[in-house]
């Protein structure tokens, strides 16, 4: 059996920036004193004259990014998700969102898989925060292949984009034939009994859940939802019509993230049972990343259990 390729999406982010810099001489990358961790240091090494370390001043970094983008530069601003989405929320809202400025935010170290850094750094609220900003695009790739494509798609998009990357190395889900499009969910498996809609790190675990269910005679569809906003309403409605119940899976608070976005669509257009796998409205804690994922139920077994519970709720 071939070795499973595992790469952190933050690594793919750094490498993709270098690729972009080779074809876009107006690309500028900003960081808030975390270049080694966010992997923007890879770009800094290749293009030191187009990299700016803004120091531990995330709010100011967003203001600098807005100014550079207004002057016609392609700007990527990076920090940990907790600081990018949390500490700089006002500046993102007022300096990027309100005037619809073309800045791309690369937020790394999202979710509880940050591990030993603990609850203060484990941002499970960032998608919810960014979803409230009108015109904000939110991308949460599942693996390094999708992360690279998401960076290139973000660079071409108009307006602010929030990209969510992880610290933990994760198995590869896609291959080089994969085509990414902002705003589009993708079926990874077709099924008749229940649909699982997963994003980010939980996609690989949802794939395992589909296999667990198959062994029990349950046919589960699986959708990869890398774009949280704008959410793919058509594929959600198709899932509701086809299977009659949905389970969402995300490394984020169940409030405000993918689960909320899917539930909003179904409530408005196609009411079906929707159960959510995610962090259950609690703070994280310090510990090894893989152990934390198990402790908080972000695993294949819990996704499969929720799928069976959702099936039981169908009328």
Catalytic positions: 58
Q: Cβ distance 112 to 279 under 8 Å?
A: yes
Q: At a CB cut-off of 8 Å and minimum separation 6, what does 290 contact?
A: 168
Longest dimension (CA), the chain: 62
Query: What is the side-by-side order of every strand in the sheet holding 220-224?
Result: 186-189, 220-224, 194-198, 246-253, 274-279
Hey, what are 249's tokens? 């899976």
At what angle are helices 9-23 and 144-156 packed, to 10 degrees? 40
CA angle 120, 81, 34 (to 5 degrees): 90
Tokens read off for 217? 């005679």
Query: How many CB atoms neighbour CB 211 within 10 A?
Result: 12
Distance CA 111, CA 115 (A): 9
| Structure-token pair, residue 77 | 């601003």
Listed residue (228, 169, 182, 173) closest to 204, CA to CA: 173
Contacts of 67 (CB under 8 A, 6+ apart): none
- Nearest CA to 226 among 141, 150, 108, 165? 141
Give the residue carrying structure tokens 């090494």: 45
């Amino acid at each position: 059996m071939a070795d499973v390729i595992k790469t952190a999406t933050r690594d793919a982010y750094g490498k993709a920036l270098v690729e972009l810099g080779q074809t876009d001489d107006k690309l500028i990358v900003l960081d808030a004193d975390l270049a080694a961790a966010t992997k923007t240091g890879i770009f800094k090494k290749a293009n030191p004259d187009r990299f700016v370390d803004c120091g531990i001043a995330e709010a100011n970094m967003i203001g600098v990014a807005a100014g550079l983008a207004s002057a016609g530069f392609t700007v990527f601003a990076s920090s940990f998700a907790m600081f990018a989405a949390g500490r700089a929320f006002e500046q993102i809202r007022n300096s990027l969102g309100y005037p619809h400025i073309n800045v791309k935010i690369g937020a790394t170290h999202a979710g509880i898989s940050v591990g030993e850094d603990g609850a203060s750094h484990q941002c499970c609220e960032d998608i919810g925060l960014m979803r409230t900003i009108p015109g904000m695009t939110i991308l949460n790739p599942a693996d390094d292949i999708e992360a690279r494509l998401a960076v290139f798609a973000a660079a071409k998009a108009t307006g602010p984009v929030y990209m969510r990357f992880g610290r933990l190395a994760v198995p590869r889900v896609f291959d080089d034939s994969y085509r990414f499009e902002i705003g589009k969910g993708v079926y990874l498996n077709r099924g008749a009994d229940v649909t699982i809609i997963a994003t980010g790190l939980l996609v690989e675990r949802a794939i395992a859940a589909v296999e667990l269910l198959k062994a029990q005679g349950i046919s589960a569809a699986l959708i990869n939802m890398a774009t949280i906003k704008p959410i793919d309403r058509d594929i959600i409605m198709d899932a509701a019509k086809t299977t009659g119940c949905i389970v969402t899976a995300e490394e984020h608070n169940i409030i405000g993230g993918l689960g909320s976005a899917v539930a909003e669509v179904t409530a408005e257009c196609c009411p079906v049972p929707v159960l959510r796998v995610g962090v259950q409205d609690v703070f994280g804690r310090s510990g090894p990343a893989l152990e934390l994922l198990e402790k908080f139920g972000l695993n294949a077994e819990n996704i499969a259990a929720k799928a069976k519970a959702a099936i039981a709720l169908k009328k």
